Amino acid sequence: MIQHLIILPVLVHLITGTVNLFFWGKPQPQRVMSLLGTFTAMLIAFALFNQVRSEGVMVMHAANWKAPFGISFVADTFSSSMVLFTSFAGFAVSLFSAAGISAVRAQYAFYPIFHFLLMGLNGAFLTGDLFNLYVWFEVIIMASFVLITLGGSKAQMEGGVKYVSLNLLASVIFLTAIAIVYGLTGTLNLADLAITLPNIKNQGLINITALLFFIGFGIKSAVFPLYFWLPSSYHTPPSAVAAIFAGLLTKVGVYAMLRMFTLLFHPDDFMTAIILIISLGTMLTGALGAIIKTDLKRMFSYLIICHIGYMVGGLALFTQAALGGAVFYLFHDMMIKTNLFLIAGVIKKIRGTTNMPKLGGLYHSYPKFALLVAIVIFSLAGTPPLSGFWPKIYLFQAGFANTSWASNYYVIGLIFSSLITLYVLAKMWKDVFWKKQPDTQIHVPDHFQPLSFMKKLSLILPIVFLASITLYIGLDAERVLTVANDIAKEMLNPKPYIKAVLGHL
Amino acid sequence: MKNIILRTATAYLIPLLLLFSVFLLLRGHYHPGGGFVGGLVASIAFVLHGFAFKMQNTLRLMKFHPSKFIPVGLSVSIISSILPMFFKKPVMTGLWLNKPLPILGNVGTSLFFDIGVYLVVIGVTLNILFTISDSGQQ
Amino acid sequence: MTNQLFTNIMLTLIWVMLSGNTSIPNFGFGFALGFVILYLTVRGVDNRRYFYRVPRLVRFVLRYIYEMLKANLQVTRTILMRKMDVAPAIIKYPLEAKTDFEITMLSNIISLTPGTLVMDISDDKKVMYIHTLYYKDKDSFIKYIRLNLEIKLLEVIR
Amino acid sequence: MELLLVIMIAILYASGIFMLLRRSMVRLLMGIILIGNGANLLIFLLGGITPGKPPVIAETKSVFTEAYADPVPQALILTAIVISFGIQSFAIVLLRQVYRLLESDDLDDLNTPLEEDI
Amino acid sequence: MTLYYLLYFFALPVNCIAMILVFIRIYKGPTVFDRIVALDLLITMGIGTIAIYSIITKQPLFLDVAMILALIGFLSTVAFSYYLEKRKDND
Amino acid sequence: MILTIFSGLILALFCVPFGRQINKKLSNFLFLIPLSGFIYFLLQLPLILAGQTKTVRYEWVPTFGINLDFYLDGLSLLFSLLITGIGTLIFLYAAAYLKGKQYLSRFYGYLGLFMTAMLGLVSSNNIILLFVFWELTSISSFFLIGFDNENEEAQKSALTALTITGGGGLLLLGGVILMSNIAETYSIKAMVFSAEELKNHSWYGFILLSIFAGAFTKSAQFPFHFWLPNAMKAPTPVSAYLHSATMVKAGIYLLARFTPILGNTSLWNYSLMFVGGITMLYAAFHSLFRVDMKGILAYSTISALGILVFLLGIGTKDAYIAASVFILVHALYKATLFLVTGTVDYATGTRDIRALAGLRKVLLPVAIAGIIAALSSAGVPLFYGFIGKDLIYEATTHSFSLDSTFLTVAAILTNIFIGYSGLLVGIKPFTGKLSEEHSTVRLPGWKLWLPPFILAFCCIIFGCFPGRTSGLMSYVASAIAGKHFNLDLKLWHGVNTVFLLSMITLTGTAFIYFSRRVTNRELIILSTFNKLAPAYLVKKVTDGLLAFAKKFTNTMHNGYLRNYTMTIVLFMVGILSFKLLNGTPLTIDWYHLSPVSFYEVTVAILMLGAIFLSAITKSRLTALVALSVVGYAICILYVMYGAPDLAMTQFAIDTLTVVLFVLVLFKLPPFLNFTNTKIKLRDGLISSAFGGIIGWIALTVLNESVNKEVSPYYAENVYKLAKGKNVVNVILVDFRGFDTMFEIIVLAMASIGVYSLLKVKVKKSERE
Amino acid sequence: MTDILFIILCTIGSLVTLVAAVGILRMPDFYMRLSVTVKASTIGSGLLLLCAAMYFNVPDVTNRAMAIVLFLILTAPVAGHMIGRAAYMGKAKLWKDSKLDELEGMYDEDHHLRSGQSKKELQENDEKKADIQP
Ligand code: NA
Ligand code: NA
């Protein structure tokens, strides 16, 4: 029974997706199935998380082959909490899609692919096998290819081509790195590799491999200067899709990075410096981009990039505080970024655009929605005591504690980009909510008002749901912090992980 | 395109290819082959039919859209892989019949898994090709 | 009906051949498999006739191999000569063969013979356009094909 | 032989990247295919190559009696090939749709004005 | 043993040279039809080469690959022809 | 205590669901909330006066050591009393002032939030908690300034204020964390024990910088002062509360709080004196040229804040005492003047000082309050301002740090201007002849004049009986100084230097007030110097940043896929080759490599030739043929190395890819050659470099001997346990069946994707 | 005995293959290359497969080798015919010294192939008819 729990987060989406395929062309049953599936997934994720918290690292050996020989699934605190947060985002987006996804999309590809995407994410979090991780990444990118082009508008196609090409490049690099790792060790099990890799004589080669992994995951998580696909594409799909992308896709890259660089590799000085510079570049790129974008979705896209820099930098600093901060930020970011795009979706429904100069007056017409958004954006801006604040403390601490020259830049970048984030979000608030609605937009009909109560509920409830999770993270930071700290400890001391998988050290 | 030679040749090649695909599928566990290649060969048979007789006719021949193979195949694979869970074994664990069956040899869940793969591959390939040629007609 | 049975048996044999297992159950399985495949595929396709008489077949095959060897040698010579002795042409060949199967078989054996190639068959199935490397005159070419290949083939399959 | 394979792999990677840098979408696709093949061969090579010994146990035996090629890279490549097949077919169709909408094979045309309302 | 030598030092090299010659045709063209025909020929030659190779290595398993080549290799030629017949202008 | 602090927050939360009721009725009674707080803090007074402190502690985020750790000493109590006391009056005042306005509930929500933030800020003992509240004040101030949300100026001001205080806040966070890192505690009280360590730490400079950044932005010190005059867009009660009496003093509080920890070093003292001095003079001078009552008050507030910083910078006991008293002095008269301004504005509809005169006839109670406050600000004896001024001079004349004359002159000048502006706002509108248009003005309800009246009353009471405050003030000053001393405030010290200085100030103030015609002509002249003003410079910097951001973003993300690819590849090539050249020597172990046979060479020739052909050909179909040859060569290669499964799959997939391509290529335009040879050469070089790197890595990897464990296990168990003989297939369906399971999902998705690409079309009207 | 047969088969097979390769290189036009090569190589590969079939001499393998030959014979002419036809429609030029082209003008726009008169002849007929009728 225990073993099965690990794989259930994957299976539940696999089955939901497949069953949805049988209802091809019929949106209503798919909607219901999807809600049911994501809700069940949430319950399962909770159960898994609790079990891991109480019993420690859990392992399932698929096909019953013991560790380095089969594919092992491992749930430690990190992976199980990622699964948990993913399930929140999944549930919210599923709920949102009930009214937020146009009928044509919902009829065909959306729901099955959506579930396969969630499945891929859960798989990537839980797998304990390097090549299996590659497969999960492919599942994720294939699903995202479909979702990002679903609907077939010109902008989607244009973004899609860039998205597809650059992500495929990332996959190839990832595969190349896997080839090298297998060539060096003859094994693919992460725990086994954690033991084997340090014994390789040519450590220079290991560093190269680490770099390749970093580049591969770096493209996926959109770090500077590898980020281009993200601002090219994230604004094009419907908001529900963009939400799941924003909340989860780049984050799985960060997750993989954190996993690889704590379990298999340890950043050396060169690597630390490189990653810190990259993280600085990422923060600046995102911040500078966000300042000048006038479209909500485009601006949010750059904010995603900006905040990836925080986490990547946390990895480079490589102390318990830094890793804990990065992980905490990761959780927070998953919830917030998903929510931001859902909010953008509602705004688009209301005003027919997400272009800020054309928006305005929402404070007047939708005051409670405005309040909801305020919670979200101030959490993102890191306003204490909301969720974005806590990890920043850790990151600052780690940045100061590190003595390398690059860490100073990291701290400066952290301050600068936090300030820009605050500015950008406050400006967005001003433009979207406070400002009077420009006259040119008056004739655009409000698509939100005429919706039925249920539909309105399905659009607003997920935002409330995610916002309350964000609030919870912020106000009961102790819980999340404990988890983040435990994760950081797990990362710095992978022995329990290895022991659980291999049965020995 | 009306091409007698191709059509006639196709008519006798298709059964051959299909036969061959099943052959590849069933022997995969012991020899080169397996569900994947088998599925590809089977779909190539229908592609050939499509080239010779136009894709619409191929669709008519198949009676239902090949995309239906996908969920069916997936279900077969999924069921055969989660079946062990009900016997208190991890996912994917091979379950085998005690005695080898004639012709097929040892029959276990992995055979059904491979059959699922076979069906999915057929469904996928044909769906892609037929969708493309269908939209090309418009 | 007969045709289908015949095809079915053939498929069974091929199955046995492929799997290399001559046990009785394997025959049965092959038959069943062939039946299913035929059921799935034979719809809408013209009736076909298979091998008619074995002895004629053997004679034909031998004859054909001989023709082929001859042609092969000629082509080899041509290829290896410094200056090629070729006189290519596309010739219209009026068909005796009527059914698709006959035409296809004929065209295949013509194409398989080095030096000749079937370009196409007219839509009304009355003529066949053949490309040849060694054109002397039209009539002798048509006669050659007719006597050496078409009539012999038709004898076998009709 | 390994050296020759290395050269092939290097050139597959190089040409893949070269094609990715072209402006034509068809070449982009070909680049993706080439570089994918390069990666597969790399797995194959680094997994260790053994000429002429497939990892299949002989008909009459139940264990390997002689050397055999490492089956793991083969399985990995097989999976990778299948995955890239799926992705490639999608990409090919994407290319076609892009052409349908833009009437162009030129990647530089994929630039609707930056701030256009989506 | 002589057979091995024959195959290894005569048949295989001859096939290889043949393949390279065919490739030269692919390279030179001049028309795309030439290239397609040459590709078809290359595949057919591959079948022979695999047959030789399977004898040399005593691995009949390789014949399975040859079987695939024989059965579906012509499909790409058919596809090319299909395309070339349907297309309106030069590619 | 917790309840008192969080009462505002509770009010804010309460406002969300019960907004309507508050809009209508409840607003009149909300003042009870701060009032009860005020009473609570008054009740704590004896405790403090007895030399004790009060601590409350609840666990919040113990992992971080961040707890609800509150601490009440003299300094905190003074601020708490101000916050709740003035808060009570403001709540009362606002209920009338904003009556009938939209969103009143939200206003009270923000105000409550703000009150909580301020109270929390001044009573936190935990340094992070302090920061939490610090930021909350910025946020609530953002909403309050922008309360008139459809006014574009208000929006902009709110944004400026938030950005500047937010930026300072972030730096402050940095400093605070650094401090706690060094002191290894979050408790401010405990940090005092690490004071020496902090001061001698190499990061001390940075800590000061960041603390100052926080304090100066919040307290509107030069050059960050400009947000404050802009913030006057807020409703007047808000200005009175936030921008004179409480929030802006948060920076002062912070400096005062950290004085025992970080203070009394020359860096600390001189920077504070310098910045405070410049601020007070600059702002005081500026206040001369305003005609808007709120504008005048804003600048005089900045100036007063400058004085406070300046005093903290002097860093003597006298200075601390002066600062303590001046906090109260300033809060009382400035809040009064603001409220007076608000009432005048409410009644007459204008705040232009030139248009207002003689209002005493119609707004008598207001006039009284205004005049008292003005006199207090001018430092007329018997008003509390006099005491404050006295103490300031006491501090400047007895300072030992700089030339005390210099300091004193600066203080005198500032005081003259501040006094002048006080008179301008508090007296000018009420004296002289009532203009025609204002003759019909009626005195508004008691809520609009009683609060300033009460405050003004305090000015007199404390002014007459300064001794009553000396108890509290001594504890305030002690808290700042970090050591206890007693203090006795007296009305009359006798005629001494300080008294003379006060008189000089008073005379100066009177002279300007009576001689100068109120005009903003000078302001127009001055505006030519705007290019040097910090606001302008900041705008310049912001514009520059925006322009840079635009250029950077659009250059990096320019829409051309090949540029993106190029950047990524260049990055990879750079970083990998750097690493390869440093520490991964390439040694080829020739003995390990197997010999090359001719058939392998053949395959290589086929492949390389085909690759070359595909790269150079101008025909798409030829490229496709070439690609097939590549695939075919790989297939042969797989056969040669014992991978029949792979060969079969590779070939089948290649064939299908060709079919796919062929079906798609139909409609494509001619295969164009867009790029010139030079670019091709460049790309060729870069991609070759990349290929070379991969090759190099591969060769290096081949050199390593591998001890394989997995594949022998498979070989051993494939028949025994997995009942198969084709290891590859058994791996695919059993050992690593999971890969296959999800690889077919990828396929399925690809197929669905193709379908949706070609078939699913969302109409424009249906988007989203 | 078997060995000799073996060697003969193998040698001939290889040589035929080589000749086919030389043929495709040397022949002057597309149709000639096509006509020479596809079958020559089919024969070559067929012989080599026969060789393998005899070598392994296990029913299973032999059957398979023979099946491959069968497949080759079934598919090669079809492919040759297809590409030849496509090339003709795609206007691949006949060699300059070709003697006769009876296919010329026989395809109409929709690629339908007539058996009777070519387009040119039809046109001439039409003109004649036009001449007769005043
Ligand atoms: Na297989
Ligand atoms: Na497979």
Q: Is F532 in a helix, a strand, or coil?
A: helix
What percent of chain F is modeled with pLDDT above 70?
A: 94
Residues A156-195: b if buried by 16+ CB within 10 A, e if exposed: bbbbbbbbbbbbbbbbbbbbbbbbbbbbbbbbbbbbbbbb
**What is the tens place of the pLDDT at every residue in F162-193?**
888 888 999 999 898 888 888 888 888 888 88
CB distance D11–F608 less than 8 Å? yes
> pLDDT tens for residues F112-127?
888 888 989 998 888 8
CB contact, 8 Å: B78 with chain C?
Answer: no
**Any idea what the Cα angle at residue G133 is, between residues G127 and G134, rounded to 5°?**
110
**Protein fold of D2-117:** Helix Hairpins (1.10.287)
Please give, one letter per residue, the 3-state secondary structure of F632-678: HHHHHHHHHCCCHHHHHHHHHHHHHHHHHHHHHHCCCCCCCCCCCHH
Nearest to G78 among B1, B9, B16 (CB): B9
Give the torsion through C-alpha atoms of D9, D14, D19, D21, to 10 deg: 150
Domain boundaries, chain D: 2-117
Q: What is the A16 CA–ligand 2 centroid distance (Å)? A: 23
Alpha helices in E1-91 (DSSP H): 2-6, 12-28, 32-57, 62-86
Q: What is the mean pLDDT of residues F50-79?
A: 84
Find the helix or strand (DSSP H, E) in which G21 lies.
Answer: helix G2-26
Tell if the CB–CB gap between F635 and E16 is shorter than 8 Å.
no
pLDDT on residue A21: 92
B124 touches chain D (CB under 8 A): yes
pLDDT tens track for A51-106: 999 998 999 988 888 888 889 999 999 999 999 999 999 999 999 998 888 877 87
State the DSSP code for F210. H
Amino acid F526: pLDDT: 66
Q: Biggest alpha carbon distance in chain A?
A: 71
Chain D positions touching F717 (Cβ under 8 A) are: none
Q: Which ligand is nearest to the CA of D83?
A: 2
H/E element, F443: none
In total, the C-beta contacts within 8 angstroms joining chain A to chain B are: 36
CA angle F565, F571, F576 (to 5 degrees): 125
Domain ranges of chain B: 4-136
F126: left (phi over 0), alpha (psi -120 to 50) or beta: beta
Mean pLDDT of chain A: 90
Percent of chain B with pLDDT over 90: 33
- With CA atoms as reference, report the closest residue to F166 among F217, F111, F221: F217
Our CA-based measurement puts residue A13 at a distance from the nearest CA of chain F, in whole angstroms, of 12
φ, ψ of residue C98 in degrees (nearest 5): -115, -55
Residue B45 or residue F718, greater confidence: B45
Six-digit token string for E71 = 């059965």
- For F347, residues 6+ apart whose C-beta sits below 8 A from its C-beta are F359, F362, F363, F366, F441, F442, F443, F444
F 628-657 residues with CB below 8 A of E?
628-629, 632, 635-636, 639-640, 642, 644, 647-648, 651-652, 654-655
- Would the CB atoms of B47 and E61 count as touching at under 8 Å? no
Distances (CA, A) of F646 to B114, E64, F237, F371, F624: 16, 11, 79, 96, 21
pLDDT band at F598 (very low <50, low <70, confident <90, very high): confident
Q: Read off the DSSP letter of residue G23.
A: H
Write down the pLDDT at residue F672: 67
Partners of B5 on chain C (C-beta within 8 Å) are: 103-104, 107-108, 118, 121
For chain C, the first-to-last Cα distance in angstroms comes to 17
Q: What is the pLDDT of residue F767?
A: 54
Q: Report residue A462's pLDDT band, with 50, 70 and 90 as the boundaries.
A: very high
- Percent of chain F topping pLDDT 90: 16
The pLDDT, as a whole number, for residue A1 is 47
Report pLDDT for A98.
87
Please enumerate in sequence order all residues whose Cβ is within 8 A of that of F17, keeping only pairs 6 or more positions apart, or say none. none
Inform me whether the pLDDT recorded for F354 exceeds 90: no
What value does the mean pLDDT take over residues A10-19?
Answer: 94
- Rounded to the nearest angstrom, the minimum Cα separation between E11 and chain G is 6
Q: Which pLDDT belongs to residue G134?
A: 46
DSSP string, F504-518: HHHHHHHHHHHHPPP
- How remote is the CA of residue B109 from the centroid of ligand 2, in Å? 15
Distance CA D92, CA F664 (A): 7
CB contact under 8 A, D117 and A353: yes
Question: What does the alpha-carbon distance between residue D54 and residue D57 come to, in Å, rounded to a whole number?
Answer: 8
β-bridge mates for residue F58, sequence order: F68
Q: In angstroms, what is the span from residue F746 Cα to ligand 2's centroid?
A: 12
Residue that the structure tokens 């429609």 belong to: G89
Q: Do F750 and B33 touch (CB under 8 A)?
A: no
DSSP character string of F11-35: HHHHHTTTHHHHHHTGGGGTTHHHH
pLDDT of residue F183: 87
Residue F10 banded pLDDT, cuts 50, 70, 90:
confident
Query: Which residues in chain G (18-57) have CB-CB distances under 8 A to chain C?
Result: 19, 22-23, 26-29, 31-32, 34-36, 38-40, 42-43
Q: Contact F643/D69, CB-based, under 8 Å?
A: yes
- Three-state DSSP state, E75: helix
pLDDT digits (tens, 9 = 90+) for A365-378: 888 888 889 889 98
CA-closest candidate to residue F581, choices F705, F700, F704: F700
ipTM tops the 0.90 cut: yes
Single-letter code of the amino acid located at B117: V
Q: Chain F contact for B21, CB < 8 A?
A: no
pLDDT of residue E90: 45
Average pLDDT on D11-31 reads 92
Interface contact flag, B9 G82, Cβ < 8 Å: no
Helix A27-55 × helix A110-126 angle, to 10°: 10
Q: Which amino acid belongs to residue A391?
A: P
Chains B, C: CB pairs < 8 Å: 65
Q: How far is A387 from chain D (nearest CA, A)?
A: 31
Q: What is the pLDDT of residues B4-39, one digit of tens each?
A: 888 888 888 898 899 989 989 988 888 888 899 999
Domain boundaries, chain C: 2-42, 50-157
Name the range with the highest mean pLDDT among A327-336, C3-12, F347-356: A327-336
Residues E85 and C18: their CA atoms lie apart, in Å, by: 36
Q: Under DSSP, is residue F59 helix (H, G, I), strand (E, B) or coil?
A: strand
Q: What is the pLDDT of residue C47?
A: 47
pLDDT at residue F639 in the model: 93
Calculate how far, in angstroms, residue B97's C-alpha sits from the geometric centre of ligand 1.
22
Looking at the complex, does the CB of residue G85 fall below 8 Å from at least one CB of chain B?
Answer: yes
**Could you tell me the pLDDT band of residue G130, with boundaries at 50, 70 and 90?**
low
Q: How far apart are CA C50 and CA C10, in angstroms?
A: 10
Q: Please give the angle made by the CA atoms of E8, E9 and E13, to the nearest 5 degrees.
A: 90
At D118, the pLDDT band (50, 70, 90 cuts) reads very low
Burial pattern A250-282, b for ≥16 Cβ within 10 A else e, equals bbbbbbbbbbbbbbbbebbeebbbbbbbbbbbb
Nearest chain B CA: its distance from F128 CA (Å): 48
Specify the 3-state DSSP secondary structure of B90.
coil
Average pLDDT over residues A426-451: 79
DSSP F334: H
Q: Tell me the pLDDT tens digit for each residue of A288-325.
A: 999 999 899 999 999 999 999 999 999 998 999 999 99
Kindly report, residue by residue over G56-113, the tens digit of the pLDDT.
877 778 888 888 888 888 888 888 888 888 888 877 777 777 777 777 777 776 667 7
Q: Which amino acid is at G52?
A: A
**Pairing mode, strands C127-132 and C89-94:** antiparallel
Task: Give pLDDT tens digits for F98-113.
Answer: 877 777 778 888 888 8
Q: Can you list the alpha helix ranges (DSSP code H) found in F434-496? A: 446-464, 467-481
Residue-level pLDDT at C75: 86
Residue F251 has pLDDT above 70, yes or no: yes
Chains E and D touch (3+ CB pairs under 8 A): yes
Q: How many Cβ atoms sit within 10 Å of the Cβ of residue A59?
A: 22
Spacing, Cα B36 to ligand 1 middle (Å) = 6
> Which is nearest to F375 in space by CA: F323, F431, F321?
F431
Reported as a pLDDT band with limits 50, 70 and 90, residue B75 is: very high
Whole-number Å distance between alpha carbons of F60 and A476: 7
Among the bound ligands, name the one nearest to the CA of residue F732: 2
Query: Cα-flanking dihedrals φ and ψ of residue D115, to 5°?
Result: -100, 20
Of F599, F620, F659, the CB nearest to E79: F659
- How far is residue F564 from each of residues A162, A286, F173, F214, measured CA to CA in Å? 9, 16, 37, 40
Please list the ranges in chain C whose pLDDT falls under 70: 1-5, 21-25, 42-55, 158
β-pair partners for B101: B105
What lies within 8 Å, CB to CB, of A474 at 6+ separation is A379, A385, A386, A387, A388, A389, A390
The residue to which tokens 């010994």 are assigned:
D53
Predicted confidence band of residue A499 (pLDDT cuts 50, 70, 90): very high
Provide the token pair at A5.
Answer: 């729990």
Q: Scanning every residue of chain G, which has its alpha carbon at the shortest distance from the alpha carbon of E90?
A: G90
Q: What is the mean pLDDT of residues F199-204?
A: 86
Query: Residue E37 corresponds to which tokens in the numbers above?
Result: 């025909």
Burial environment of residue C46 by CB neighbours within 10 A (0 to 12, 13 to 18, 19 or more) = exposed
